Every structure is written in C-alpha cells, then in structure tokens.
Structure 1
Amino acid sequence: MEKLRQHIEQITPLTDEEFTHIQTFFAIKRVRKNQFLLHEGDEVKHEFLVLQGVYKVFYVDNEGKEHIVQFAQENWWMTDYSGYFKKKPANMFVECLEDGEVLCLTLYGREKLSADLHKMEHFFRVKLTNGYVALQERIRILLSGNPQQRYEEFSKLHPDLLQRVPKKLIAAFLGVSRETLSRLSGSK
C-alpha cells in the first residue's frame, strides 16, 4: 500500500491517520498475463490503479475489429468509465498484457472517500482532469496527425511502452498497420 500513498502524495500530503482510513477502501488483486479484469457486458464494479504490469482497455466493433482506447501502466487508472460512473454494463474489455497487480476501488468507495476527506476529492478531481486532457490530446492527434506524427507523439509520451507492448497492439492503438509502424519506427 506504500505505492498508493506515494501516488496520492504526488498531489496532496496525507497524515498517517488519513492514509489508514484511505487504504481500507482498496483491495489488491494479482493479475496474470492475458487475464481479463473486465469483459464487455460485465457490471463495472471497480476502477483500477495499476501497481504493476501493462493493460489494454479496448472494445470490439460489430465487425469483430478490436479498437484500443488506452494502455495503462504503473500509476495509471483504468476501467470502463461509462459503465463505472453511469452504473451500466461494460462496453469495454480490460486485459492484462503482462503479469501484474492492481488496486481495486468501488464507485461507492470513491464517493465515500471524497465525502470523508476533501484531500481525496481534490486528488480524484486532479486525476480525472488530467485523464480528460490526455484523452482530448489523443483524439486531436488521431484526427489531425499523420501516422508519423502519431508515432512520434506516442514514443515521446510513452517510450517505455514501446518496449513493453507488442508492436501489433501499438499499431492498432495508433490506427496504422504493423508494416507502417515498422517503417515509422525504422525512420527515427
């Protein structure tokens, strides 16, 4: 749980008493490579904080094509947020790409923590805002950037993922073929 405390204290300091209260809302889950934390249609019970590993959040369209919405690694939050906040069945899948560990937080726990501790309300607001900004930037780059720009932006923001995520998944995330990704990564 020390990683959780460090993660929160990057935004707001905590007393020992506050952290003791906070950690009671989280459950640790170990995850194996290729294990799913969430399937389309599931009840979305948790938001996950990645302690270890790399995960992909994706959906499958009507033709069976997989669309990767997010990769998540250490200190990143993930879930199907539409299902989580709106209490609807999941539209997304969450799959572990390497053995890992996550902390699980229910929506009730998140809301209770925010009500109990203004610091946690602030923490979640900052995290949600940062996630929203990152999502808008991803959409902007996908809509207006050419494949080279998308690859360069991804490699600048996430150089470690280039080593940890299979190239075919990075290509899918960037909206390019595996062959195009090979050309782009070879031209750097």
Structure 2
Amino acid sequence: MSEILRQQIEKITPLTDKEFEYILSHFTRKKIKKHQYLLQEGEAVQNDYFVTKGLLKAYYVNQDGKEHIMQFAMEDWWITDYQAYFNETNATLNIDCIEASEVLCLSLRNREKLCADMHKIEHFFRKKSNAGYVALQRRILSLLNSNAKERYEQLLQQYPLLFQRVPKTLIASYLGVSRETLSRLSS
C-alpha cells in the first residue's frame, strides 16, 4: 500500500529505505467505504490525503443545492481542501468516496516537520505544488475559453481511466454541463 507513495516520491527524488521509513512514519492510514465522507464542509481539515486505493471526489454545494466537482482523486493522487488545510480553517469542500478507498493521511504539522527535516521532501512537495498550480490554471482557462465539447475531449485525453470508473453524472458535474449535454458530447 505504501509502495505507491514511495514510487511517486522517487519520480522526483531518490530515497533510501531508511529515508522512506522515516517519511512513512509521519503518515497514518485510513480506509473509507463507498459513499462515505472523508471530509465534510464545516469540519476542521486535519490532513492532506494520498490515495493508495479507490476513487474520491472533492466538491462544493452551492446555495441552490447544486454540486460542483472540483477534483477527482484516484490511486497516486493527492486530495484535500487545500485552502482550509494550509490556513488551518474549516472546510468549504466535501470529499467523499466514489469507490471504497484507502488513503495515507499527512497532517500539516507532520508535513512541515518532514520538510524541515528533509530537503528531498521539501523539494518533492514544491514540485507537486507547482504541478498542481499548472493543472489548476489549465482547468480555469479551459472553463473560460473552451466549449463543453472541447472540455470533454481534453478530460478524456488527459484522464481516460476516469471515464471507466466515474459515473457520467459526476463527469458532467466536473465539466459544468448537464447529464443530457454530456450524453450528446460522448455520442
């Protein structure tokens, strides 16, 4: 289960067994059932979550009760309410499981300790954060500049596995279109 984390870190920086054991000692493990919340709006955000098994979604529910999916996360991806995690405030997002999932949990305190203790991990998280900023900018620009069909095709090209695992209603929510529009786009 933890090998997937080591593989991700080692895509950026090599680790000795001892270094990885030290890193792993700062994480806790958690199993979550399908449809169970990992995080609910209004709760204190304790952790950043690295997915070792399963599939989750982070979403916001507006005043009209409409769900807006911000992010999916499957194996080898990270997920949390980052605004609340880094600012140590309550969540504005919900995170729940599309599939039964297992995650490794990293508190902000432990993340900061790891980064202070190990330059390699500080470098790893900086690279991951930079990649996240780039992905977020791409998503915002796509929402601003692309029509629904273009957004659908971009998502399909980038993450074809999502389409095999995520119900179409959730893909539609992520793309900001109705289920009916998605059906027209995918036919």
Bin of the TM-score, shorter chain as denominator length? over 0.9
- Cα distance, 1:76 vs structure 2: 0.7
Q: Deviations over 1:35-58 (max 9, x none)?
A: 111000000000000111111000
- Cα distance in 1, alignment partners of residues 39 and 67 from structure 2: 15
After alignment, is 37-46 or 176-185 more displaced?
176-185
Equivalent AA in structure 1 for residue 54 of structure 2:
G
Q: Using the alignment, how far apart are the partners of 1:60 and 1:102 within structure 2? A: 24
Matches within 5 A, 1:126-141: 126-141=127-142
**TM-score, normalised by the number of residues in structure 2:** 0.98
The aligned residue for residue 39 of structure 1 is 40
How many residues align structurally? 186
Q: Which amino acid aligns with 1:58?
A: Y
| Aligned counterparts of 2:138 and 2:11: Cα–Cα separation in 1 | 23
Distance 1:12 1:184 in 2: 40
SS at match of 2:57: strand
| Rounded Cα–Cα distance in structure 1 between residues aligned with 2:95 and 2:134 | 21
Deviations along 1:68-97, whole A, 9 cap, x unmatched? 100111111110001000011000000100
1:86 alignment partner AA:
N
Listed as ranges, the gaps of 5+ residues in structure 2 are none
Partners of 1:10 and 1:30 in 2: how far apart? 25
Aligned AA for 1:67? H
Equivalent runs, 1:18-167 vs 2, <5 Å: 18-167=19-168
1:30 is displaced (CA, Å) by 1.0
In structure 2, distance between residues paired with 1:100 and 1:44: 18
**TM-score scaled by structure 1?**
0.97
Within the alignment, does 1:9 sit opposite 2:10 as a pair? Answer: yes
CA offsets per residue over residues 2-47 of structure 1, 9 Å max, x none? 2221111111000111111101001111111001110000000000
Question: Secondary structure in 2 aligned to 1:183?
Answer: helix
**What amino acid does structure 2 have at the position aligned with 1:115?**
A
The aligned amino acid for 1:50 is V
- Structure 1: give runs of 5+ residues left out of the alignment: none
* CA root-mean-square deviation: 0.7
- Aligned residue type for 1:105: L
SS of 1:55's equivalent in the other structure is strand
User: Quick one: distance in 2 between partners of 1:179 and 1:16?
Assistant: 51
Q: Give a deviation string over 1:106-127, Cα, whole Å, max 9, x none.
A: 0001100000000000000011
Runs of 4+ deviating beyond 2 Å: none
